[in-house]
Amino acid sequence: MQFFKFTNIDFIRNRRKFFVIFGLLFLWSTCVIVRRGGSNYGIDFTGGILMHISFQNKVDLRDLRIALEESGMNSFELQSSNNIIIIRAKKSVNFQEKLKNSIQNFVQSMFPNNLVKIERIEYVGPAVSEYLSRQAIYGFLFAFLGMIAYITFRFKSSFWGIAAILGVIHDVVVTFGFVVLLGKEVNITVVAALLTIAGYSINDTIVLFNRIKENLKLALSQNFAVLVNRSINDVLARTIVTSITVFIVACSLFFFGGEVLHTFAYVMVIGTVLGVFSTIFVCAPLIYELEIKRNKRLKKNTCKTK
């Protein structure tokens, strides 16, 4: 099935407009992150409280979540195992010395016919959160360096690697800006989603770059702008159909995946759209811009030597 046949859109002619949109989105996202004073980090990065609660009878997690929110706990995660519920809450929660009794009494009042008992409570120190923060930063750095190295080796040009990474950085930063804008909690799951977006974006970009390289071998004398436009149009149907498929899955998780997967799906929805934009409208036109400037410099140097 083909949704797009023989498209002939001139992406190169309007490249500077796309570059402006690219820059404005990046600037907007940076301003949002700075103005909000960073993001709403979860227990993975701030430390907090880990609590095991047992119930005599099985409890619906949605009911327990509502009960805890009414008690004043507004930043927490829930996990269940039989009749044991694990609560992970940020250290900013306003339950210090009386935390155990306060939660037990309140939860018991919400479930009067179900005996509640707090099995254990412990505190997650800042050392663990600092370690996870460093690991997250290292993860992004090594991912970006690995991508640059692979693309440079694969296409024998550092320009191609730089163009691809600029697109990935744009997707990650702008997506993170949308996360901060809505005040969503940033935890290890969000970091995993951002890395997934980076991988998805670079995959699309490599497919397009590979088509440009193939067309270069087949038509060496063809104008480079025409060749890049042709390459983008060649993979346009594949890129859009693949992205729509991922987008539908992400939307399904967003609306029906529950509270645990909500932020992950939100990141995937935003990142999927941005990944298509950066691949088609930014990375390939940026390759054209860089290659044209490099050729001009080579011609000038050649003329000078003569």
Tell me what pLDDT residue 293 has: 79
Q: Which strands, in side-by-side order, build the sheet including 48-55?
A: 76-81, 84-90, 48-55, 116-124
116-124 vs 40-41, strand pairing mode: unpaired
Residues 208 and 235 sit within 8 Å (Cβ to Cβ): yes
Question: Residue 68 corresponds to which amino acid?
Answer: L
Tell me what pLDDT residue 97 has: 46
Own/partner contacts of 111-116, CB < 8 Å, gap of 24 or more, are 111/55, 111/59, 111/63, 111/67, 113/57, 114/55, 114/56, 114/57, 114/59, 115/55, 115/56, 116/53, 116/54, 116/55, 116/56
Q: Give the span between the Cα atoms of 113 and 119, in whole angstroms.
A: 19
Tell me what pLDDT residue 305 has: 60
Element (H, E) at 50: strand 48-55
At 185-229, the pLDDT tens digits run 888 888 889 989 988 888 888 889 988 888 888 776 678 888 888
Inter-CA distances, 174 with 45, 141, 212, 273, 289, Å: 21, 17, 27, 11, 23
Tell me what pLDDT residue 298 has: 65
Residues 12 and 87 sit within 8 Å (Cβ to Cβ): no
Q: Which residue has the tokens 């327990």?
A: 64
Q: Give the span between the Cα atoms of 254 and 264, in whole angstroms.
A: 8
Tell me what pLDDT residue 29 has: 92
Give the HSE-up count for residue 149: Cα atoms under 13 Å, Cβ half-sphere: 6
Instruction: Give residues with Cβ within 8 angstroms of 189, minimum separation 6.
Output: 260, 263, 264
Inter-CA distances, 74 with 16, 25, 233, 289, Å: 45, 31, 48, 49
Tell me what pLDDT residue 96 has: 47
Q: Which residues of the chain have pLDDT under 70?
A: 1-6, 37-39, 71-75, 81-83, 91-104, 106, 124-130, 132, 220-221, 298-306
Q: Give the span between the Cα atoms of 122 and 47, in whole angstroms.
A: 11
Does this model's pTM top 0.75? My answer is yes
Q: Give the span between the Cα atoms of 210 and 244, in whole angstroms.
A: 22
φ/ψ bin of 113: left (φ > 0), alpha (ψ from -120 to 50), beta (otherwise): alpha
Element (H, E) at 51: strand 48-55
Give the HSE-up count for residue 97: Cα atoms under 13 Å, Cβ half-sphere: 0
* Domains of the chain with bracketed CATH: 15-40+128-300 (1.20.1640.10), 48-124 (3.30.70.3400)
Helices marked H in the chain: 15-35, 43-46, 61-70, 99-110, 126-155, 158-181, 188-218, 224-256, 259-277, 284-305
